Amino acid sequence: MPLSEQNRTSVDVFKRERYHAPEQWYDRDGEPFSPQTNYAVGGNTKIYAAALMRMRDRDFEAVQYQAALSPEWPIKYSDLEPHYSEAEQLYQVHGNMSADPTEPEHSQGYPHGPVEYGEVMAGPVAAIAAKGFHPTALPLSLTGQDDDPTGDAEIFGIEAALQFENVTLKPRPEPWRSIPIPLAKRLKP
């Protein structure tokens, strides 16, 4: 996917739906919608914001929301922790573990320190901190390359895998067809 300004601007990504697939999916009530999903090598990480936050311990517990109960997970944060650490190394995450009191235990630190706030953010961050809150920089996956700054599954996953002799990336088969959704699922009950 070529790097362009429209890959980042919220008006293109969200309002003009630049990265919504040109197909219709159907919600559980049978209402059609255009999915915000991207078919490319690297999947949706080619258009994501590269903010790689860990879930918190309590996200795995039962949480009663106003609308419904989010049930307890069969696994806990501690089951995923080693994988978060491995993924953060792979994705070259820049972050800060100490500023946010809800940050869960890390067995390994982020490979890089946080991205410093730009001028626009420095004022609001200081004002929020002065109120006793804990603003912190989002953990970001960054490549260090000017021409492709955010880390994604192509750069850190596919390209790394292609270094092995027994790994090949095959072009997509033609004709490319999405899996048809049975008509019954498209109809309202």
Of 27-35, 38-46, 81-89, 124-132, which part binds ligand FAD (CB under 6 A)? 38-46
Q: Nearest CA to 154 among 42, 51, 50, 7? A: 42
**Residue 141 sits in the site that holds ligand FAD (CB under 6 A):** no
Element (H, E) at 186: helix 183-186
**Residue 93 sits in the site that holds ligand FAD (CB under 6 A):** no
Q: Which of residues 154-183 bind ligand FAD (CB under 6 A)?
A: 179
Distance CA 136, CA 121 (A): 11
- The angle at the Cα of 170, spanning 18 to 25, to the nearest 5 degrees, equals 35
Write the CA distances from 10 to 15, 43, 47, 88, integer angstroms: 7, 19, 11, 26
**Residue 51 sits in the site that holds ligand FAD (CB under 6 A):** yes
Distance CA 181, CA 184 (A): 8
Single residue of 44, 89, 96, 143 touching ligand FAD by CB under 6 A: 44
**Residue 47 sits in the site that holds ligand FAD (CB under 6 A):** yes
Single residue of 8, 30, 35, 49 touching ligand FAD by CB under 6 A: 49
Please state the closest distance from residue 158 (CB atom) to ligand FAD, in A: 10
Residues interacting with ligand FAD, by CB under 6 A? 13, 36-37, 39-40, 43-45, 47-52, 179
